[in-house]
Amino acid sequence: MEDVLYAPWRDDYVTGEKIEGCVFCHISTHIEDDEKLHVLYRTESCFIVMNRYPYTPGHFMIIPNQHTDKLEELPSEVWLEMSSLAQKCVKMLKEGFGAHGVNLGMNLGAPAGAGIAEHIHLHLVPRWQRDTNFITSIAQTRVYSSDFEKIYKKLQELLPKYL
């Protein structure tokens, strides 16, 4: 007997339009595609975008417009803006989205686990009590229990109240 886990939302990953070059630079420069690219918010120096293949519902990233793989070379004012946005977004995830906690993280470089190592980005991953179950722990498989588009719309509605 063969075990099969269906994940139809991943079809876009396999068959969807591929972005040439740095995906984050593409998002940074294509403001007209914010809805399609799931951008939540923009400032002059960075943007907030949903993680298209999230760890948990509501997982998004804060990304500088500047293409760099070195946090140490990012202008201090950009890092301060990203940090300020992160504080406000954590509050939004807890108060507005109902998260019990939030993981913040940056994987700097491929050896550190960065999936897109050429452009730094800060992950915000909402967490809930008991959100890790047997399938995640034993089978290294994540179950995404909510509709991605509904969560995107919900976060779009919440952000103006917190930023």
Report the b/e string of 114-133 with b at 16+ CB within 10 A. beeeebbbbbbbbbeeebee
Give the pLDDT of residue 131.
Answer: 67
Residue range 20-73, pLDDT digits in tens: 899 999 999 999 999 999 999 999 999 999 998 888 899 999 999 999 999 999
| Cα–Cα distance for residue pair 143/148, rounded to 1 Å | 12
Among 38, 59, 121, 123, the one annotated catalytic: 121
Question: Which CATH homologous superfamily contains domain 8-162?
Answer: HIT-like (3.30.428.10)
Of residues 127 and 12, more confidence is placed in 127
Domain ranges for the chain: 8-162
- Percentage of the residues of the chain whose pLDDT score is greater than 90: 69
Task: Show Cβ contacts of residue 128 under 8 Å, excluding neighbours closer than 6 positions.
Answer: 56, 98, 99, 100, 101
In the sheet that 101-105 helps form, which strands lie side by side, from edge to edge?
Answer: 39-42, 46-50, 60-64, 122-127, 101-105
121 in active site = yes
Encoding tokens for residue 91?
Answer: 């509050």
State mean pLDDT over 118-138: 77
